[in-house]
Amino acid sequence: MLYSRRELLKTTALGTASLAVTPSFNHLLGGTQDAPQGVPHRFIFIRKSNGNLTTQFGLPSFSSAELKQHKEKQAFEVDLAKHELPEWLRGLDDHKENMTILHGISMSVSGGGHYSYSGCMGAYKAGRDILNNIKWATIDFELAKLFPSPFGHVEMSLAVPHGRDHRTGIVSGYSAPAAKQRNYCYADPMTAYQELFKSVTNTNEADTDKALLDYLHEQERRRLTGLDGDERLKISDQVDSLQSIRDRNAKVASLGAKIKKHLPAIDPVHAEGGENATLPEKQDAFTDVIVGALASGLTNVVTYTIDDLGTDITSLPENKQKTSIHQVGHGGQISGAAAMRDAIKTHHMRQVQTFVSKLKAIPEGNGTMFDNTTIIYMPETGAGHHSPDTEAPMVLLTGKNSKIDVAGRYIRLPFHGTNGHKTLSNWYTTLLNAYGNPIEHYGDLDLTMQRNRLPQKGAIAQFLG
């Protein structure tokens, strides 16, 4: 189902759906978080479909000994400055000192197959029953708690579930603010632009929203009179949620000058859902909106599903056969499947290059915004179309103020089920520990590691310096 923000606001507040049982709505419209002290760290999670083939993440300049280690999945590291990158990564040649090619993290805790749904962000198996299988807040929401902002966590998506040709507006997302609570996300760049930057681009509607919120808040507050027990608790939660949105809007208003300074330009092709926009145009626009939202201080954590198996790739210039991501995943159904995989990733890396270049051009403190940014490009299912989920190659870009020590290296960790192996849960525990959450272990435990009686709890110590 597609929603406009105002439709959600009116239906939830008036009782068609309850804010008390859908707090993800509150995250969509903004939380009650206060600004962090000092410069925040920022995170951009980029989710991709179809897995990441390990063969396409090796370095063409490996020595014979290194190539043997790579093929045999042995643990080792090399300095990226001394090596040539795969062709699809060469757009980031100028940023090698910030780059990490990370091999060896497994995703068995979240599962492979066509989709992981919320699982790849929460380190648990979600399955198709997405809502009931959400076990806890996903990693992006947990990090957003550590670096509060007016909008909290923001989710954007170019995913197109099977049975749909196109999605626009505000739709269900995959991240989660808490157990059994699904987030909402922006499905097209224009909706994201209009909603995030409304305080300066459409002041009339922003004023109307304020009046509506004030009215609904007063109506719900009055309903509290004479109520007790569960009914009072439910209405009280709705009043609190409405108040949090009003507080968020006040904080956004205080950022007016900063928002205007970093307001992105968006092409008219994206009007009315952008049905005629090409995939590269949509990716470019989402990238600009994300940079603007981060630079304006509206959010510090963004999750971006850059494609899924239903995303239309026929507008990619390299896609002469007009094939689909799903067919590319099966390989044998088309010629040149590996080349098409590389072409898709090349387009993704162009967006990453834009993120890095633009953030490096924005001054902050004694350096730039990128100094305080981590970009994580990750598959949602592992190392292939139908997994295996024993590996999930990732590309990271980290600024100089990063609290994880990985930059400038190709890193292969011990393979799944062996001593020293690290899971997606370990990786997320590392991020949380590095940035202020001392949690002992985030995410599910790996069954193979348990069967082999191997230790698997905690952060990846070598990444914490």
pLDDT of residue 347 exceeding 70: yes
d(CA 44, CA 46): 6
d(CA 295, CA 464): 27
* CATH number of the domain within which 158 lies: 3.40.720.10
Give phi and psi for 364, each to the nearest 5. Answer: -155, 125
Quick one: pLDDT at residue 273? 86
What is the number of structural domains in the chain?
A: 2
Residues 22 and 47 in one domain: no
**Rounded average pLDDT over 107-121:** 88
Residues 78 and 210 in one domain: no
Quick one: pLDDT at residue 113? 77
Quick one: pLDDT at residue 292? 97
Quick one: pLDDT at residue 224? 55
**Rounded average pLDDT over 372-401:** 93
Residues 391 and 318 in one domain: yes
Residues 212 and 315 in one domain: no
Q: Which tokens belong to 299?
A: 């959010």
**Rounded average pLDDT over 319-331:** 88
Residues 103 and 226 in one domain: no
Quick one: pLDDT at residue 149? 93
Residues 84 and 157 in one domain: yes
The larger pLDDT score, comparing residue 183 to residue 408, is at 408
Q: In Å, how far are 90, 213, 409 from 219, measured between CA atoms?
A: 58, 10, 57
Q: In Å, how far are 145, 205, 344, 420 from 389, measured between CA atoms?
A: 29, 46, 21, 17
The 10s digit of each residue's pLDDT in 256-281 is 888 899 999 999 999 988 989 999 99
Residues 150 and 223 in one domain: no
Least confident of 94-108, 149-163, 236-250, 404-418: 236-250
pLDDT of residue 375 exceeding 90: yes
Quick one: pLDDT at residue 400? 96
Residues 4 and 94 in one domain: no
pLDDT of residue 169 exceeding 60: yes
d(CA 303, CA 183): 11
**Rounded average pLDDT over 208-234:** 54
Residues 259 and 382 in one domain: no
Reduce the DSSP state of residue 368 to 3 states and report it. strand
Mean pLDDT for all residues in the chain: 85
Strand partners, 434: none
pLDDT of residue 17 exceeding 60: no
Residues 318 and 381 in one domain: yes
Q: pTM for the whole thing?
A: 0.88
DSSP string, 34-86: PPPSSSPPEEEEEEESS---GGGGS-TT--HHHHHHHHTT--EEEEGGGSPPP
Burial per residue of 171-185, b for 16 or more beta-carbon CB atoms within 10 angstroms, e otherwise: bbbbbbbeeebbbbb
Q: Are strands 170-172 and 184-186 parallel, antiparallel or unpaired?
A: antiparallel
Residues 221 and 278 in one domain: no
Which of 263, 291, 310 marks a domain boundary? 263
d(CA 91, CA 41): 25
Which of 263, 288, 311 marks a domain boundary? 263
Quick one: pLDDT at residue 240? 56
Quick one: pLDDT at residue 41? 98
The larger pLDDT score, comparing residue 329 to residue 61, is at 61
Percent of the chain with pLDDT over 70: 80
Quick one: pLDDT at residue 331? 78
The larger pLDDT score, comparing residue 75 to residue 234, is at 75
pLDDT of residue 414 exceeding 60: yes
Quick one: pLDDT at residue 341? 93
pLDDT of residue 371 exceeding 70: yes
pLDDT of residue 3 exceeding 60: no
Residues 193 and 208 in one domain: no
Answer left, alpha or beta for residue 112, where phi above 0 means left and psi between -120 and 50 means alpha.
beta
Reduce the DSSP state of residue 154 to 3 states and report it. strand
By residue range, what is the domain housing residue 221? Answer: 1-30+203-263
